[in-house]
Structure 1
């Protein structure tokens, strides 16, 4: 049976930023919304300060520099590549929180990046893009993923109609935090894709569909508050040597606020 869709952890100490927008009123959207190039892939070097805390820097002492895909305020290599794409091209000019094109999750595997899309969700299918980048002069540029010159792979996933908020590898397994594409009081879930790293390395198809994901946990949410937005794997010394996820929430409610500059997340056992 065919799948019907509309026609229309690297080793370097770098941070790969992802975009996050505040909620806007309808009249603000038209006046202030910018194309998704505002969140184009970029990397920022991380260095330790004298007190041991990490700091983002433009250029590190060892020569690592901040880099981004070459482009301007409206276009870059990735958006140009997607402009004529039959799945995502029509959604590039739609605001992210209206099921438009919205990159929220990112995972780094060497020079390869997996980009999790909060939107669009296409007839119930969530999407993840796979690209490869390299430093070229003062910018990053896309590299072919294979000998055929493929610059983009598209992975469509069954996440119950939810979009991807965050991505993380744990060994060969890929964990996906999934929530609604719009600002809704809706269930948020954490999914597990067992052996994803091996599957993605073995399957070189430019477009593929993945059914077999394990739902690991349903996360709590409040009314207009406490929406799980990000996950990270805690270092073992902080987690009592037990593999543990830290879940952080957007719009934390009163119970998650502990005073100025303090918010509480949740800890999940990573099994």
Structure 2
């Protein structure tokens, strides 16, 4: 499980592996939230079919009747295989072993009714934007787990999509967030946040900004943390006014259900005066009952 979002009385979940019952299908699932706090699968939504490999769903967000789903837009290198020969494993580091998977290069917009049924579906790719951006383009051919381009977070606020990157992490520990509107994606702005060397694992909109779920950029052992971000660029400059400065506050570290778990998704169920009620989605949890956890996170005053 790699993404989670609330829509009406549903939780929408997505996976970064697997393509549904049919190998050429990419789907997200709707879970019905019951009054006792439990969830049950209510339906699934087909995103695309017959396009080869997986979409690699990494972010889901919703505003009004619109739901957005993003793939990682990443390149891949296969892992070392102990059952392969020494020569084959060494050759896996060669440039020609990097795979650019076009099936991951999609951002979907779905219009749903109150029952969770799809009324309309569109999609665009962010690949051209990334390839032409002066900061991001050099990382396009680098595998995602080696500080290459890797989208993992998605939030929407007042019609503005905020696409969070797990990688690249730039010098000074700056991580990019791509801010754009669906209707004019090429009129974008690239913002930067600093997460102590971590990348963005998910991002969610709140009343006064965003919550960022931060974790290891690669396969490192850094802890998982939640930050509050005011939504503004954090790069300093002597000519920047105080009111324009980006601000980040560390709210706390996330305890893992077990040593194999990775916090991958974040959804805001409710915002209260003194706290946020959240759902965190975990990938790799041994206990299937702990793939989703409800968390109460207290707000911190400036």
Give the shorter-chain TM-score range. 0.5 to 0.7
CA distance, structure 2, for counterparts of residue 110 and residue 213 of structure 1? 20
Pick aligned residue for 2:139 from 87, 91, 101: 91
CA distance, structure 2, for counterparts of residue 264 and residue 229 of structure 1? 10
Listed as ranges, the matches of 1:177-192 within 5 Å are: 177-192=213-228
Pick aligned residue for 2:64 from 12, 27, 43: 12
Listed as ranges, the matches of 1:96-245 within 5 Å are: 96-123=144-171, 124-134=173-183, 142=185, 151-194=187-230, 196=231, 199=232, 212-221=247-256, 225-235=260-270, 243-245=276-278
Partners of 2:98 and 2:143 within 8 A in 1? no
Instruction: Name whichever of 12-21 and 226-235 sits farther off.
Output: 12-21
Shift in CA distance, 100/222, structure 1 to aligned 2, threshold 3 Å: farther
Partners of 1:248 and 1:266 within 8 A in 2? no
Deviations 1:132-160 (A, max 9, x none): 122xxxxxx526xxxxxxx1211111110
CA RMSD of aligned residues (A): 3.5
Look up the SS of the partner of 1:97 in the other structure. Answer: helix
- Structure 2: 5+ residue runs without aligned partners? 1-60, 81-88, 234-243
Look up the SS of the partner of 1:121 in the other structure. Answer: coil
CA distance, structure 2, for counterparts of residue 223 and residue 23 of structure 1? 27
Aligned residue number for residue 25 of structure 1: 79
Aligned residue number for residue 30 of structure 2: none
Q: TM-score, normalised by structure 1?
A: 0.67
Q: TM-score, normalised by structure 2?
A: 0.61
Pick aligned residue for 2:293 from 261, 265, 270: 265
Pick aligned residue for 2:282 from 233, 249, 259: 249
Partners of 2:155 and 2:162 within 8 A in 1? yes
Higher strand share: 2
Partners of 1:105 and 1:116 within 8 A in 2? yes
Shift in CA distance, 23/190, structure 1 to aligned 2, threshold 3 Å: farther
- Structure 1: 5+ residue runs without aligned partners? 1-8, 70-75, 135-140, 144-150, 201-208
| Cα deviation, residue 242, structure 1 | 6.7
